[in-house]
Chain A
Amino acid sequence: MSLLNSILEQLINGLRTGSIYALIAIGYTMVYGIAKMINFAHGDIIMVGAYALYVYSSILKLPLVAAIILTVVTCSVLGIITEKIAYKPLRNAPSLAVLITAIGMSFLLQNVALLIFKATPIPFASVVNVSGIRLGSLYLSGTTLVTLGVTVIAMVALTLFVNKTKAGRAMRAVSEDRGAAELMGISVNATISLTFAIGSGLAAVAGILYISQYETLMPTLGALPGIKAFVAAVLGGIGSIPGAMFGGIILGIIESLSKAYISTQLSDAIVYGVLVVVLLVKPSGLLGKLKIEKV
């Protein structure tokens, strides 16, 4: 009974961490699908989100809802600006140039944060003020409940948006064939901007949830969840939104279970090991489609 209980607890932990990975992974996968690039600065948007929430709620003392909305808007706008400044001029450049630029953008964001907020970690108590619930012998913390709830809402909303709205349909068209989409009258630039806005907005949400869990602000706090979420996106099949959701959750659960039952030190190695095995068996990822390149 107690083993079952502990497994359930670890599953819920994994689900919580995995939800955050999933929210971030969606940004990687959408940007890859539409703009055909890996935005390595995406993880640092989480960091900006966490600091933005701190500024709006702790320094400016804005009401929580306003602070959260402003945080999401800040990150969305930042996402659009980074694309316009750094990536758009490289639209027809070799992918290596874009990759290096994205890494540069990541360093830039981290160092600007370092300049403004200094290297000393800033303690920042969770803004989530929800009491946990007890299900039998199982305890679910407020942060866990909010994280799971917010993630489910965000994923349902995103799925509906992409599949049911005109803008979502345009996004799928651009992702499949940019030139043909242009012939339909779809502005490729506007669609790419929208993609960056949505991805960065979700990263802001992830940043808020992440900081509610870890309660310490550092300029490099986005790096680790960023890279994990990238792994999740590849695991699920880069370019596929359900793949990113699924990959994030799976990754969180594997990480949590291996931390609890195998080894804390080895948990990351196990996570990457799973990625290697999945890619060996199915190179396009769990839910990804194999694209046959036409010559």
Chain B
Amino acid sequence: MAMLKVTDLKVYYGVIQAIKGISFEVNQGEVIALIGANGAGKTTILHTVTGLLKPKSGKIEFEGTDITKMPGHKIVALGMAHVPEGRRVFADLTVYENLMLGAYTRKNKDEIAETLQMVYTRFPRLQERKTQLAGTLSGGEQQMLAMGRALMSHPKIILMDEPSMGLSPIFVNEIFDIIKQVSASGTTVLLVEQNAKKALEIADRAYVLETGNIVKSASASELMNDDSIKKAYLGE
């Protein structure tokens, strides 16, 4: 059974149909990439899955539970974390406070402390800057904070929206290394990226989106050798 199963999802912004009936699945342990150009609907899909947007029709199931109509703040507690586009860290709060908000739905203090230690080990820079306001961090550090914050909820699946956007090439490589590590530690990853090359390098499978439709789905290695994908997304 798929961990996350989306069936015939349709999402509207007012009268404009942004998502035109898409279906996809993410299995336990996979890294799945959603690739596509600006405006293809990638972010809309993530927002709908985590409850920030409500679909017109269709079904979203997480570990067999129908979460289509569940409010966003309840979905986190089921084990789904979302690293939003543009990072959206709380700029006026400290790094530590941001991380603790990631663990908002968890009750056990010892477990939270343990996860915090794990996050600090993975991102030593966040530990160095734990008392600093998040707004004073560089873009790459904010991306790390957004990822650390998501990990604080101890998610089964983590949804990442354009983690490489606006970052220097060094940071981009670092962020993708971290995604690989997160996946290796057993967390399932659903990755949305404009940087299709990087995304396909670490993904198991990928879905290609064009103006609200999935036009192709295959293993990442297959897509990397697909001529039309090469031409449209990989710049070859």
Contact = CB atoms under 8 A, between A and B. Distances in A.
Interface of A: 166, 169-170, 172-173, 176-177, 179-188
8 contacts: A169-B101, A177-B88, A181-B101, A183-B52, A183-B72, A184-B101, A184-B102, A187-B71
A181 B50 CA distance: 12
B104 A170 contact: yes
Contacts of A180: 84, 88-90
A183 B90 contact: no
B105 interface: yes
Contacts of A179: 52, 84, 88
Most buried by B among A181, A185, A187: A185
Given A177-B90, A185-B105, A169 B72 contact: no
Contacts of B71: 182, 187
Main secondary structure of the interface of A (DSSP, over half): helix
B93 A169 contact: yes
Interface in B81-137: 81-82, 84, 88-93, 97, 100-102, 104-105
Nearest to B105: A185
B88 A169 contact: no
A176 B76 contact: no
A183 B76 contact: yes
Contacts of B72: 182-183
A82 to B, nearest CB: 23
A30 to B, nearest CB: 15
Interface string B41-75: 00000000011100000000000000000011110
B88 A182 contact: no
Contacts of A187: 71, 73
Q: List the 3 closest pairs (A to B, CB-CB), nearest first.
A: A185-B76, A185-B105, A180-B88
B3 interface: no
Interface in B10-36: none
B77 interface: yes
A185 B84 contact: no
A101 to B, nearest CB: 23
A182 B51 contact: yes
Contacts of A166: 100, 104
A182 B89 CA distance: 13
Contact of A169 (B84, B89, B97): B97
Contact of B93 (A172, A183, A186): A172
A182 B90 contact: no
A121 B205 CA distance: 75
Nearest to A172: B93
B155 to A, nearest CB: 11
Nearest to B91: A176
